[in-house]
Amino acid sequence: MNNLSTCKEWPLLAQKALNGERLTEEEGLAVLEASDDEVLPLLQAAFQVRKHYYGKKVKLNMIINAKSGLCPEDCGYCSQSIVSTAPVNKYTLLDKDTLLAGAREAMTRKAGTYCIVAAGKGPTDKELAQVVDAVKEIRETMPLKICACLGILKDEQAQRLAEAGVHRYNHNLNTSKANYPSITTTHTYDQRVETVEKVKTYGMSPCSGVIIGMGETNQEIIEMAYALRELDSDSIPINFLNAIPGTPLEHAGRTPAMKALKVLALFRFICPSKEIRVAGGREVNLRTLQPMSLYAANSLFVGDYLTTAGQSIGVDHQMIEDLGFEIELNAL
């Protein structure tokens, strides 16, 4: 057994994270390979880091699937990809009124950030103009932060989104560089990195995360966390694969709940000051242990995801209240 895998060592990792020191690969492996008996002390240590930066506050985010099922990409995890046979809704970019209605719904759910997501390799000029128009009105009429996720951007597109008032841009790394070709072939890992760097250049907050459960090794999970630390991603959504029938990864097994909690603790230690969000697949993978995730993470998506159902908003709000935590309103 790794000699770090004892409850006496986890507070030392928490202190190292608080000191701004990077965990070694050995320490990262100790977290991921720890006995399930160590999960409670491990989460307690992760909570000390989370509490230092975020107290007991929880940021809520809501997604709107602004364009669905018409994607030319071949991402193996996605029900909207060109290689998927999953029965999903297919429609072009939603009109302005529908995007505005989604923003109002985000406010009723107490979400501080409204995420406009459109499937595709990148936006057309017409699509970008539609998003920009909606964003400007949302910014003028509602106290919401806006995150856009529209694929790979050109410089001029990134500039227009920033000028319209988009606070944050999401472009997930998804998996490790070595594992990337087994997940998709229609774009590269490096293109993902370039887009994240580009949005930073134009003043938008970078949001980039991962999907756990796509055949990656523990070493690769650590590499993903290191990569996001180097990218200085402000918000890190941790998705756990929800294997959808009709996608190439439909037979992938779920991530055990205890393993998912260890992953969240790892990301808190490696990216201590960043927003760690329990994202897609939490309901299917964490199941009844979802409340425990918030001892490491400080953010949730509320409501449905792109093509899969989420947990009831009332249940999420109750979960936060029962933990003695507090929803952080209008939080970026």
Residues placed in the known binding site for [4Fe-4S] cluster: 71, 75, 78
The verdict on whether 115 is a catalytic residue reads yes
Is 173:227 a contact under the CB 8 Å cutoff?
Answer: yes
Q: Name residues whose C-beta falls within 8 Å of residue 101's C-beta, 6 or more positions apart in sequence.
A: none
Residue of 207, 268, 271, 282 marked active site: 207
d(CA 100, CA 205): 22
In the chain, the amino acid numbered 297 is A
Is 192:234 a contact under the CB 8 Å cutoff?
Answer: no
Is 63:302 a contact under the CB 8 Å cutoff?
Answer: no
Q: Name residues whose C-beta falls within 8 Å of residue 3's C-beta, 6 or more positions apart in sequence.
A: none
**Chain mean position to CA 323:** 22
The verdict on whether 168 is a catalytic residue reads no
- 3-class state of residue 243 by DSSP: coil
Residue of 160, 192, 277, 282 marked active site: 277
308: nearest Cα among 241, 249, 252, 260: 241
In the chain, the amino acid numbered 50 is R
The residue behind tokens 């159902």 is 309
Cα–Cα distances (Å) from 268 to 79, 309, 314, in that order, read: 29, 26, 27
In the chain, the amino acid numbered 231 is L
The verdict on whether 192 is a catalytic residue reads no
The verdict on whether 78 is a catalytic residue reads yes
The verdict on whether 7 is a catalytic residue reads no
178: nearest Cα among 208, 213, 217, 210: 217
- 3-class state of residue 68 by DSSP: strand
Which residues does the annotation mark as catalytic?
71, 75, 78, 115, 147, 207, 277
